[in-house]
Amino acid sequence: MRGALSETPGAAVPVRVREAGAEDAAWDGFVAAAEGSTFCHLAGWRGIMADVLGHECRYLVAEAEDGAWTGVLPLVRVRSRLFGHYLLSMPFLNDGGPLGDPQARSVLAARGGDEARRLGVDLLELRVREPVGGELTESRRKVTVLLPLPETPGELWEKGFRAKLRSQIRRPQKAGLTTRFGADEVAPFYEVFSRNMRDLGTPVLPRAFFERIARTFPEQAVFATVYSGSTPVAAGCGFAWRGEFEVTWASALREFNPVSPNMLLYWSLMERAIGLGVKTFNFGRCTPGGGTHRFKLQWGGADLPLPWAQWSAGGVAATPSPDRPAFRLATAAWQRIPVPLANLLGPVLARRLP
Under a CB-based contact definition with an 8 Å cutoff, are residues 89 and 73 in contact? yes
Confidence of residue 10 (pLDDT cuts 50, 70, 90): very low
Sign (positive or negative) of CA dihedral 239, 244, 248, 249: positive
Average pLDDT of the residues of the chain:
91
Residue 48's pLDDT band (cuts 50, 70, 90): very high
The reply to whether 144-304 shares the fold of 5-140+307-319 is yes
Contact by Cβ (8 Å): 240, 222 = yes
Q: Mean of the pLDDT values across residues 331-338?
A: 76
What's the mean pLDDT in 130-154?
A: 94
pLDDT of the residue at 12: 56
HSE, CB side, 13 Å, CA atoms: give it for residue 213. 29
> Could you tell me the residue ranges of all domains in the chain?
5-140+307-319, 144-304
Percent of the chain with pLDDT over 90: 80
| Better pLDDT: 328 or 46 | 46
Return the minimum-mean-pLDDT range out of 1-10, 163-172, 183-192.
Answer: 1-10
Residue 148: pLDDT over 90: yes
Label residue 345 by pLDDT band (50, 70, 90). confident
pLDDT of residue 236: 98
Q: Is the dihedral of CA 232, 44, 36, 132 positive or negative?
A: negative
165: number of Cβ within 10 Å = 16
Q: For domain 5-140+307-319, give the fold.
A: Aminopeptidase (3.40.630)
User: Model-level pTM?
Assistant: 0.91
Enumerate the β-bridge partners of residue 58: 75
- Residue 83's pLDDT is 84
Give the integer Cα–Cα distance in Å for 236 and 190: 9
**Which superfamily does 144-304 belong to?**
Gcn5-related N-acetyltransferase (GNAT) (3.40.630.30)
